[in-house]
């Protein structure tokens, strides 16, 4: 490219190559670790899934404790004309428009319910899902 110094061009090409290698390696490792468990490195550390907090099954939480749902997102699919029309009129006007709703759990409040224990925690606990990320320990 014109105007780009050689050292910047080299850095960009190096970045692109490393980035491609990273995603290829990550995909391979996620598949392997998901089936076979962690890979032991030469120094004894393990490359595998590491805890990364919790996520929530919002539909399940809505069923057992609807007050913990703090917001929701709706995504509409259709022509631009349909979507624009839908935004200005009631949903009943366009019954063939597909949509999905994504709920957001108040994680702070839900975690407080779990920490408090008892019957409420028992109802909510099945909808807390551990999040994992690929890492080395």
State the virtual CA torsion across 92, 96, 98, 100 in degrees, nearest 10: 30
Tokens of 49: 């899934």
Whether residue 68 sits in one domain with residue 23: no
Judge whether residue 5 has pLDDT over 90.
yes
Judge whether residue 62 has pLDDT over 90.
yes
Q: What is the mean pLDDT of residues 90-107?
A: 75
- As a 3-state breakdown, the chain gives helix, strand, coil percent values, each rounded to 5, of 55, 30, 20
Tokens of 101: 């709703």
Provide the residue range defining the domain that includes 89: 38-136
Q: What does the pLDDT read at residue 137?
A: 67
First to last CA, the chain: 42
The model's pTM:
0.47
- One DSSP character per residue, 18-39 reads HHHHHHHHHHHHHHHHHHH--E
Tokens of 102: 């994504």
The domain total for the chain is 2
User: Would strands 128-136 and 46-56 be described as parallel, antiparallel, or unpaired?
Assistant: antiparallel
Going by the DSSP 8-state scheme, the letter that residue 92 receives in this structure is G
Among 24-33, 71-80, 93-102, 103-112, the range scoring the smallest mean pLDDT is 93-102
Whether residue 68 sits in one domain with residue 26: no
Query: What are 125-137's pLDDT values in tens digits?
Result: 999 887 877 666 6
Whether residue 75 sits in one domain with residue 113: yes
Which has more confidence, 41 or 81? 41
Q: What does the pLDDT read at residue 63?
A: 92
Whether residue 130 sits in one domain with residue 73: yes
């Amino acid at each position: 490219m014109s105007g780009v110094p050689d050292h910047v061009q080299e850095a960009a090409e190096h970045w692109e190559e490393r980035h491609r290698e990273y995603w290829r390696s990550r995909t391979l490792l996620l598949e392997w670790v998901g089936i076979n468990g962690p890979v032991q490195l030469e120094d004894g550390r393990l490359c595998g899934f590491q805890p990364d907090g919790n996520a929530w099954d919002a539909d399940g939480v809505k069923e057992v404790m609807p007050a913990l749902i703090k917001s929701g997102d709706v995504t509409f699919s259709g022509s631009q004309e349909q979507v624009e029309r839908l935004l200005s009129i009631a949903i009943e006007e366009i019954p063939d428009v597909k949509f999905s709703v994504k709920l957001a759990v108040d994680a702070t409040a839900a975690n407080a319910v779990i920490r408090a224990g008892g019957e409420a925690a028992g109802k909510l606990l099945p909808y807390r899902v551990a999040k994992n990320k690929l890492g080395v320990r």
